[in-house]
Structure 1
Amino acid sequence: MFPQAQVRRYLNAGHFVTEDAAEELDRFGELNYPMLRTSRLQGVSVAQGPPPSEGAAPHIPARPRPRVEAVRAYPHGWPPEELPGGLPAPFTEAFQHEPYPTLHWLREHRPVSRIIAPDGPGWLLTRYDDVRKAHTDPRVTCDSKRIPAGLMWLRHWPSELRERLFTHLLDSDDPRHAELRAIMQPFFTPARQEQWRSRVQHVVDTRIDQIADRGRGDLMTAVAYPLGGNVLFSVLGATPPRMNHLRAMIWRTADWNNDVPYVAPLAHEIDAFVRKAVAEKRRAPGDDLISLLVRARDQDGLLSEDELHGQVMMMLVAGQDPSINSVGNSLHALLTHPEQLAELHDAPSLMATGMGELLRYESPLPFTSWRGTLEPVEFGDVRVPANESLFLCIGAANRDPVRFPDPDPDPDPDRLDLRRPTPGHLAFGHGAHYCLGSHIGRMTAEAAVTTVLRRLPGLRLDGTPRWRPSMFERGLSTLPVAWDVPRNGAGR
């Protein structure tokens, strides 16, 4: 038993840590908790079942629980060898830090590649036309329960949650996908999403008010994370938990290859949050997304209880990170291209086309969720057999010179050019699964970028940004910057 002064703190879903460790998580959780690996998990004990009911006192065992090793049992052939020229293979940590040289080589030499990923073997598509085709071909499924990589990733989710929560928009095909999308569509019209502009602007200004006189800070912690969370929970109409813990919970359950012992309790924690949010809206409905879904279930019978919970879970897990990543990635792209940043300062109207270029250049989701072939499908001169996993690389497709030539004589889609026309970029997907919240995501990023640049003059990097490892996302964990402290609120 720990001494009374060291009594362990309960962190939900059966997590117990010492008071010292809890303080460390409180202080560094926003930045480091999503990056936790085995060495930082040694003091964490994990329950095997759902969290205790609301109001129940946390159970503290009579003696310390054994330490838990975060074992990762990857498939045979993982990690793959580096590519020619020392390029890192897809999905390795080196690749996460700088993926584009590898993607460029693959698009030129092996545009349809048979690879081994953390979630098993599959086919990596890197050409724009192939990625776009895979978004719309009826022989390609989005149902993770019919895709080998999806089944491998899901195998550590508790079976009852896997069956109940993975019945949502992103995990379904037509005709049911179209029916589920139609239920949510009224909430995501451009006009409806535009109503959030003033709220987004208020959040950005409030966050910058808190840091403007400091002269340096981390824009991910100060702006991007709080903005993404505020927008998400405003849309959902749910009461947010501790945001740093929520992000940790979501990032760890959505991480690539979930062969880790804490996936089950985190999955139960997400389930508990969803159940509570739905119950609250049944008691007190409002003008929000969860209330809309509850009415579609209870009054109109348009979806099942499992689909109701699955839709809320899908929004909870997937609803905030694209906005977070778009803000961080766009600011990082501008800070590492000072000539483009200077041009934007001189001509703010460039943001009208520039936002599309920023999304194309550094897509917040470089890969879609899994796709799979139901029948053989031809991509170029390669015939992918049935029942194979597909990894659709948006990040590579959005830099395909065939689709996005440079306005200058030298076409270079790996170069940021805020004047480049970008219709048809795939940052928000394509076809039937095009992101419902694309307008609010773009609006959020645009508001954040323009306000940060206006109110933090002389903005510049002040350290090394760090990329968060993730199979599906391209996002920063830290973006350290410095700026010239404005006088008397100048630049507001």
Structure 2
Amino acid sequence: MSETIGHVIAELDSAFFADPYRHYRDWSRRGTVHRVRFPDGRTGWVVTGYAEARAALADPRLRKAGANARWAGVGSTASTHMLDSDPPDHTRLRKLVNQAFTARAVEALRPRVEEITAGLLDDLSGHAEVDLVAGFALPLPITVIGELLGVAPGEQVEFRRRTAGFGSGSAAPEQVRDLKAFLVELVRRKRDHPADDVLSRLVRARDEDDRLSERELVATAFLLLFAGYETTVNLIGNGVHALLRHPDQLDALRADPALVPAAVEEFLRYDGPVGFATLRYAGEPLEIGGVRVDAGEFVHVAIGAANRDPEKFADADRLDVGRNPAGHVAFGHGLHHCVGAPLARLEAQVAFTRLLERFPRLSLVDGPLAWHEGIRIRGLTSLPVRPNE
């Protein structure tokens, strides 16, 4: 690593993605805000301290609208979904989708989540070795969000095929176009034959109340797809991996399944599904952690680093399913707190409860594991396990 104006320039490479926490510990010795060079050669500020991260996530001077276009060097274009928008557009769009992810609406999904989970575990039971990501962590949330959006049962297999790779950020441009075309066609069908699903309600909001544009409608469907499953896939995968590498914590959870809700929060903190929060840029000059950030400069909030900050969490590098990790920022903070968080929590709680109940001798298959090499997502490409060791 080299230094510039008193701050670290780190090169994000395969070693970083395999174990970012080792790098975060090194960076923390030099401060809480760092200059980082990304794999594509661009540089930006990365916030790693908990207090600074939480403040940055809620700071209205850090803008989101047009951030990705600026990063790509094509100027500031209008954003079309709430994740990459600022108020008042963000406020309007979020209000439209909040109702689908309220605690009450999500709890009503529990019987169906239990049913899907049971079926997936049945499929795993006849195998000596399985990939828990492909066979369980992925199909559970993608099935649930597909049903919420109104994807017909007969289209679920095709839906999974079209969404493969998006969670890791590895989707090719033609696959993005393919999925967009699928969603455009799904919107058309919901317009002709509305049903009791989230997408039909969004179509009504577009057609009857003119509360969003056609472009926003498709973009919001795209966002809901990933808000509804991306986090959960890696929450389950990373959490199982962490448990199997900490037998004492696995034993504690087996002995007392009532710990599962707290354990899910600890999995989110310890090795959560999000690496860096979505991109922001300074709308005006500001200071973060004693570092001046000029207008137009990019700011990345390292969620994983903030959740391992020892100033906030005692013995932060230790997995403890009995811990109370209140205040973690795995789902973000402020206006852009993840809208799918209640659904992710429900699915993870059901998944861990039923998985450990069904396969009490679950164990890792020996061998190296690979992590997705994207800055936003923290997750395994696969997780080979023996269900009945």
**Which TM-score applies when normalising by structure 1?**
0.73
CA distance in 1, matches of 2:222, 2:291: 36
Q: For 1:168-183, list aligned pairs within 5 A.
A: 168-183=81-96
Corresponding residue for residue 194 of structure 1:
107
Structure 2 residue aligned with 1:138, among 60, 64, 68? 60
List aligned pairs for 1:13-412, cutoff 5 A: 89=10, 91-118=12-39, 120-143=42-65, 145=66, 147=67, 150-153=69-72, 166-239=79-152, 240=156, 242-243=158-159, 245-248=161-164, 250-251=166-167, 254-255=169-170, 262-263=172-173, 265-405=174-314, 412=315
Residue 172 of structure 1 and its aligned partner are, at CA, apart by 0.4
Give the match's secondary structure for 2:166. Answer: helix
- What's the % identity of the aligned pairs? 37
How far residue 229 of structure 1 moved from its aligned partner, in angstroms, is: 1.1
Which amino acid in the other structure matches residue 481 of structure 1?
A: V
Per-residue CA shift, 1:179-222, capped at 9, x if unaligned? Answer: 11111122211000111111111111101111213232111111
- Describe the SS at the equivalent of 2:381: strand
1:421 aligns with 2:324: yes
Q: Secondary structure at the match of 2:44?
A: strand
1:442, CA displacement in angstroms? 0.8
Report the alpha carbon displacement of residue 266 of structure 1 after superposing the two structures with TM.
2.9
Deviation at 1:133, TM superposition (A): 0.9
Which stretch shows the higher mean deviation, 388-397 or 303-312? Answer: 303-312
Alignment-derived partner of residue 361 in structure 2:
458
Alpha carbons of structure 1 residues 242 and 134: separation in structure 2 relative to 1, 3 Å: same
Distance 1:153 1:224, change over 3 A: farther
Secondary structure of the residue that 2:360 maps to in structure 1?
A: coil
Distance 1:359 1:199 in 2: 23
What is the CA distance between 1:372 and its match in structure 2? 0.7
**Aligned mates of 2:48, 2:11 — CA distance in 1:** 11
Q: Name the counterpart of 1:45.
A: none
Q: Distance in 1 between matches of 2:330 and 2:69?
A: 22
Structure-1 residue corresponding to 2:333 = 430
Partner of 1:13: none
Shift of 1:455: 0.5
Contact 2:9–2:37 (8 Å) recurs in 1: no
Instruction: Point out 4+ residue stretches in structure 1 off by more than 3 angstroms.
Output: 87-91, 152-155
Give the superposed CA RMSD: 2.4
Distance apart, 1:244 and its partner CA? 5.1
Q: Determine if contact 1:100/1:396 at 8 Å carries over to the other structure.
A: yes
Question: Counterparts of 1:290 and 1:231 in 2: how far apart (Å)?
Answer: 14
Distance 1:96 1:327 in 2: 18
For the 8 Å contact 2:146–2:159, the answer to whether it is kept is no
Judged with a 3 Å threshold, the aligned counterparts in structure 2 of structure 1 residues 90 and 236 are, in CA distance, closer, same or farther, namely: farther
Alignment correspondent of 1:468? 372
Q: Per-residue deviation at 1:420?
A: 1.3
Q: Which runs of 5+ in 1 are unaligned?
A: 1-79, 406-411, 486-492
How far, CA to CA, are the matches of 1:317 and 1:462 in structure 2? 29
* Aligned counterparts of 1:150 and 1:414: Cα–Cα separation in 2: 36
Decide whether the 8 Å contact of 2:34 with 2:45 is kept in 1.
Answer: yes
Q: Matched residue of 2:46: which SS?
A: strand
Counterpart amino acid of 1:363?
G
Residue 195 of structure 1 aligns with an amino acid whose one-letter code is: A
In structure 2, how many angstroms separate the alpha carbons of the residues matched to 1:286 and 1:470? 36
Q: How many Å apart are 1:107 and its aligned residue? A: 2.3
Name 1:483's counterpart in structure 2. 387
Q: What's the secondary structure of 1:391's corresponding residue?
A: strand
SS state of the match for residue 109, structure 1? coil
1:296 Cα deviation from its structure 2 partner: 0.7
The structure-2 alpha-carbon separation of the partners of 1:244 and 1:235, relative to structure 1 and needing over 3 Å to count, comes to closer
> Is the contact between residue 90 and residue 102 of structure 1 (CA under 8 Å) also seen in structure 2?
no
Distance, in Å, in 2 between the alignment partners of 1:243 and 1:334 is 31
Q: 1:318 and 1:154 mapped to 2: Cα distance?
A: 26
| Counterpart contact for 1:122–1:389, Cα < 8 Å | yes
TM-score of the pair, normalised by structure 2: 0.91
Residue 351 of structure 1 aligns to a residue whose secondary structure is: helix
Q: How many residues align?
A: 380
Q: Distance in 2 between matches of 1:378 and 1:216?
A: 51
Matched AA of 1:245: R
Aligned residue for 1:383, secondary structure, equals strand
CA distance in structure 1 between the partners assigned to 2:251 and 2:99 by the alignment: 40
Encode CA deviations 1:239-278: one digit per residue, 9 max, x unaligned.
44535532335257x34xx9xxx52x23321321121111
Answer whether contact 1:89 1:95 (CA < 8 A) is retained: no
CA distance in 2, matches of 1:163, 1:376: 21
Q: Which amino acid aligns with 2:14?
A: E
Tell me by how many angstroms 1:363 deviates. 1.0
C-alpha offsets along residues 9-40 of structure 1, whole Å, 9 cap, x if unaligned? xxxxxxxxxxxxxxxxxxxxxxxxxxxxxxxx
